[in-house]
């Protein structure tokens, strides 16, 4: 009888959701962070072949604030000088925190039909992505080595609030993309940086961040994702740092942050960071374009009450399994706006960055014109680069021609005709 009960208990562990068999992965919620740093007794360099963070103690925590800063204060204290900050309880009342609960029943019932993209749980330099339904992902993700990383599907945007300090002014005007991240825990990203500002908000689980000033990119052999992309990553294995080959890491300062559900962290554009998740983890990130300055004059006229992500206008959207421009029909105003978003706070927009944007925009078009030919509509001097003044001074005819080139039928489903 003892052995029968033992096997019945084991069977209950193995069988899950429509016949999935396996063991649920260890949550790791008790993991100590920042990690303790001890000299190696064997005389090896401290932290040799250990994860990032074991090579030296941190220089302190990322500053956190309990009260939501006014948008102007947020700019002056943090965005202007690109200083990370944790906004505690910034989304504590957002509906997703309560509704997207541990058993995944709500997500399964309401969003199980959605097509999403998943990738390998431990990020490698060549990522492999797969498309599947949300239902299949929710059934399997606690057992298999993949996690959800996707532009937030439009259908899910009405259950997550837009952080208050981003609801007005230049911030809201230059929103790029909402994203969703979900895993069963045990994930560790590459050390990387974004070209856009990033507000990362935790909805479930726990996430730890290591942040490093961009001045130390060379220590980690950071590579730009593509020429003039403005984003990049380190090709070092962050789970096993070779301190003989990378001894400069021992002298590289770093700070840390730990997020609980409802907390958000602002990671400035260009700032190096690594993210680790523990337990069932769901988070939402908002990317917005850096600009030379920020206007907040309309922020005091905001009506009270929540602003959901579905109420905001983003450049990129995700619907029916496809990431695409939210605008179905670009015009002279929206075309110039998109170019300025691409420019960010830089002085010049290089062709290579435009080319990447163009290829993403036209990814569903098999007979699209050559990107360089399209770029020359606005680059009449054939310099492969445009200054900010050049973009601002583009003629109506140039913007109309460029809009026409990008308005070729990209997909059959659209969220908005114009914004």
The residue among 178, 201, 288, 269 whose CA lies nearest residue 231 is 269
Beta bridge partners of 386: 349
The residue with tokens 């059959």 is 412
The confidence score (pLDDT) of residue 371 equals 97
Phi first, then psi: give them for residue 100, nearest 5 degrees: -85, 65
CA pair distance 237, 234, nearest whole angstrom: 8
Using 50, 70 and 90 to split pLDDT, how confident is the model at 26?
low
Dihedral sign, CA of 51, 54, 56, 57? positive
211-220, 225-234, 245-254, 318-327: least confident range: 318-327
> What kind and span of H or E run contains 259?
strand 255-259
3-class state of residue 197 by DSSP = strand
Nearest to 249 by CA among 236, 262, 258, 264: 236
User: Residue 108, SS3?
Assistant: helix
Q: Reply yes or no on whether the pLDDT at 269 is more than 90.
A: yes
Alpha carbon distances (Å) from 64 to 168, 186, 188, 209, 268 = 22, 25, 23, 13, 15
What's the whole-number mean pLDDT along residues 59-87?
97
What is the model's pLDDT at position 415?
44
| Orientation angle between helical segments 332-343 and 396-406, nearest 10 degrees | 80
CA distances from 375 to 298, 342, 366 (A): 35, 13, 18
302 pLDDT tier (thresholds 50, 70, 90)? confident
pLDDT tens readout for residues 87-141: 999 999 999 999 999 899 999 999 999 999 998 755 555 567 889 999 999 999 9
Q: Quick one: CA dihedral 100, 103, 106, 108, positive or negative? A: positive
| Sign of the C-alpha dihedral computed for residues 295, 301, 306 and 312 taken in this order | negative
With 90 as the cut, is the pLDDT of residue 340 above it?
yes
Omega within 30 of 0 (cis) for the link into 34: yes
pTM for the whole thing?
0.91
- Do residues 256 and 51 make contact, with C-beta atoms less than 8 angstroms apart? no
Residues 316, 318, 319, CA angle at the centre, nearest 5°? 140
Residue 187 has what pLDDT?
A: 87
pLDDT band for position 417 (cuts 50, 70, 90): very low
How does the average pLDDT of the chain come out, rounded? Answer: 90
**Paired sense of beta strands 15-16 and 20-21, if any:** antiparallel
Residue 146 pLDDT:
80
Q: Can you give the pLDDT at residue 6?
A: 39
């Amino acid at each position: 009888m003892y052995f029968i009960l033992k096997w019945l208990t084991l069977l209950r562990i193995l069988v899950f959701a429509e016949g999935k068999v396996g063991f649920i992965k260890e949550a790791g919620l008790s993991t100590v962070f920042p990690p303790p740093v001890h000299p190696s007794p064997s005389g090896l360099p401290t932290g040799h072949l250990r994860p990032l963070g074991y090579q030296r103690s941190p220089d302190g925590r990322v500053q956190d604030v309990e009260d939501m800063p006014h948008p102007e204060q947020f700019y002056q204290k943090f965005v202007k000088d690109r200083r990370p900050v944790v906004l505690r309880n910034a989304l504590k009342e957002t509906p997703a925190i309560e509704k997207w609960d541990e058993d995944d029943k709500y997500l399964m019932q309401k969003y199980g039909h959605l097509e999403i993209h998943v990738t390998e749980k431990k990020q490698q330099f060549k990522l492999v992505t797969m498309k599947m339904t949300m239902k299949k992902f929710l059934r399997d993700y606690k057992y298999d080595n993949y996690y959800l990383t996707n532009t937030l599907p439009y259908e899910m945007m009405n259950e997550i609030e837009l952080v208050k300090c981003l609801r007005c002014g230049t911030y809201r005007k230059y929103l790029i993309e909402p994203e969703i991240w979900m895993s069963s825990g045990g994930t560790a990203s590459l050390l990387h940086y974004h070209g856009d500002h990033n507000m990362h908000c935790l909805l479930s689980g726990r996430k730890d961040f290591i942040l490093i000033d961009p001045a130390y990119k060379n220590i980690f052999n950071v590579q730009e994702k593509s020429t003039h992309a403005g984003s990049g990553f380190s090709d070092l294995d962050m789970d096993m740092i070779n301190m003989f080959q990378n001894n400069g890491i021992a002298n590289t300062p770093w700070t840390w942050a730990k997020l609980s559900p409802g907390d958000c962290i602002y990671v400035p554009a260009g700032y190096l960071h690594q993210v680790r998740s523990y337990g069932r983890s769901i988070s939402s990130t908002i990317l917005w374009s850096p600009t030379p300055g920020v206007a907040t004059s309309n922020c005091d006229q905001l009506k009270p009450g929540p602003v959901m992500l579905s109420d905001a206008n983003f450049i990129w959207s995700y619907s029916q399994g496809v990431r695409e421009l939210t605008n179905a029909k670009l015009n002279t105003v929206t075309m110039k706006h998109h170019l300025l978003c691409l420019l960010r706070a830089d002085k010049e927009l290089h062709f290579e960055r435009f080319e990447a944007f163009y290829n993403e925009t036209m990814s569903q078009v098999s007979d699209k014109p050559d990107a360089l030919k399209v770029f020359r509509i606005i680059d009449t001097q054939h310099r492969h680069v445009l200054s900010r003044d050049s973009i601002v001074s583009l003629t109506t005819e140039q913007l109309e021609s460029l809009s026409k080139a990008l308005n070729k039928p990209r997909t059959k489903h659209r969220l908005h005709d114009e914004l």
